Chains A and B, each alone.
Chain A
Amino acid sequence: MKLEQIAPKLPLEKYEENFADLNPLLTPQQALIAASRCLYCFDAPCIVACPTRIDVPSFIRKISTGNLTGSARVILSANVLGESCGRVCPTEVLCEGACVLNGTGERPVEIGRLQRYAVDYAVSRGFNPLRAGTPNGQRVACIGSGPASLACAAELAGRGYAVEIFDRNAAPGGLNTYGIAAYKSRAEDSLREVRLVENVGVRIHQGVEVTGDPRIVEGRESKVEGTASAMVDGSRSAIQREPSTEGAASTFDLQPSTFNLQQAPSRIALSELESQYDAIFIGVGLGETWDLQLPGEGLRGVCGAMEFIERTKSRPFAGIDVGRRVAVIGAGNTAVDVVTAARRLGAEAVYMIYRRGEDSMPAFAYEYELAKQDGVIFLWNTQPLAILGHEGAVTGLQCARTRLEGRGRFARVDIEPGSNFVLEVDMIVKALGQQPMTEFLRSIPGIELRSGRVVVDSATHQTANPKYFAGGDCVNGGREVVDAVAEGMAAARGIDAWLGHELTVDS
């Protein structure tokens, strides 16, 4: 991306400082003090507030008694991505928001950080409480390797299924690897968790896109011999995937180059999966960022939020060009991730542009705080009208002020006549949310979509085509990692029940 003006590069150590862990790993002493604040409530509200129902008081008590591997066991058996969740969950609105200490006017227990502490302690010492179940001879394929699929796969492996995951990306983990803000979690943190799942015998095939009809692709029949892995291993392998028992040693090559597919992913057709597997889990997440539908959208310097953030997760920071002046359109959590990343990469002026008012901002309050601390300039009640350019590159964004009829997020937005102005920028990032994977989802026979979301049974996560189950962003329209995990687990139980085993749905 050739920009009109690139923000000057920062000294290398400045990048690391800017993207340093927002909430660093607790020291043992901090952890002990934080854990000792937990009241060990009975029937605790924090458990109910967690979509994966982690037994929070129990794992925190185990931290204070020094039983850290036991603590990690409690966490990981409820949520295999417990460490990521400890880093990236919006705990203020989940467990910590429910902590009874809020009721006394005290700060809540730092549940998220304690969760990360316990899992980090155990996993960095090679401890993995998850065990593969006795093989039951049945096979399940998961499409996508994001949080939803990983959770589903780990749960199924624990119940004795042979599970294989197919993902078109170069590295596994979905948005947990490519999407989460770098100051919350790095790609290698996500990959360490993926290894936990691999260690229970789940096979992950990276660089393989699952396609709908036509079922013969690119002139080559995607014939799967024996296991699908045979085909995958033969085609390309950007990353090695021998399961490792040493938590510390990385089995993935974390060189940034391998993070971006050097070649197009190979493909496997749904019909192949159907013939090979007893059930299929759809965890494909969401797709590209919505377009602005504005003139000038094709100019150099206009990009989608996902593309921009993916770069911050898969390349050295110094290698990422950012404009001197950047406009980010949208005010959700993803938009916050973009503005903060742009600032931290050295952009001098970063504008967040939102057509409604501050009170309608969809981002969480603490995310907004982050953006404020980073010196982002907020343009509320501002509607972009056109993107201006010079010799094919962005030079500005034409905007107008808006007037709202009614209150809140559903108020009608009108343009204030004569309020047009031009914001001089070198880069524009679209952060209007992600589109559903409608095209792919439509190609799955018999499944029902509503507003692009896969319709599932709320308990079993089974779709209208009984062989297919689904969970995560493609079902809930885009929520959090922890929701994807919870839905993946629910689907695993649903699959288990459907394939003739007893349904064990947690209350």
Chain B
Amino acid sequence: MELFLQQLINGIVQGSIYALIALGYTMVYGVLRLINFAHGDVFMLGAFIGFYTANLLGISQPSVGALILVMTVSMAGSAAVGLVIERFAYRPVRKFSRLTSLITAIGVSLLLEYAAQFVFGATPKSFPTIFETQNISLFGNVTISNDSILIIIVSIFLMVMLNLIVFKTKLGKAMRAVSFNLDVAKLMGINTDFIIAFTFALGSALAAAAGILYSVHFTKIDPLMGLLIGLKAFVAAVLGGIGNITGAVLGGLLLGIAEIMVSGYISSSYKDVFAFLILILVLIVKPAGLLGSAAQEKV
């Protein structure tokens, strides 16, 4: 029982990070019907922007304030990167077939990975301590680290904010209109190019937040760190029903928990295989995902 609870907590922490990244996949898919394969690399860039921000500011005292500062800079920087990718890579090919966009996405992903290796160096870096981590004993042998609590709280906060933007603001209503039908959205007077760009910025900022939380928790970053996590977050988005915001969160949490359970009870060497096994199963059994349906709300 204790092992189970411990695994559950670890799974939720892992799953929150997947969920934050999955949101970006699902939102961009919603407005563009595009799998943004470069999204995992934006997560990586978020971590590196955080790394350099913390080092440049010479943060010596770890604190919540330092974390918020680093995270804000990283989110803003990554949002800008997202805007640039959308404007110069995806927008010019939008009028061509979907396959063109997909190949462009793979190209952008490779570009970011190799550029990052060139600029930052290929060897892993230690993420500066901007937040003092310590373990808190819950009961028996079950513990939770304070950075795990932080990951959960920040994730919930960001997801609530996203929900408010998407469902309570005019901008969010425009996003939902664009995801439902691009041409009709235009006929409402919506500047759809702006809405699509905004969606990229929003998704990229969430990926950056995940990048910082991941780095604080796992402390090592490298230019290819977004590869596997990005793929898994994509699996999470498909699992939840791509295009569906609630589905992305659900898919992320489920995948995180399932993966930690597998490594706890079976073997950790199977955990990556397991994620893709889930993907294959979902595609066979319920291709639209858990919350996906024919007439779903796609953002």
Partners in one complex: no
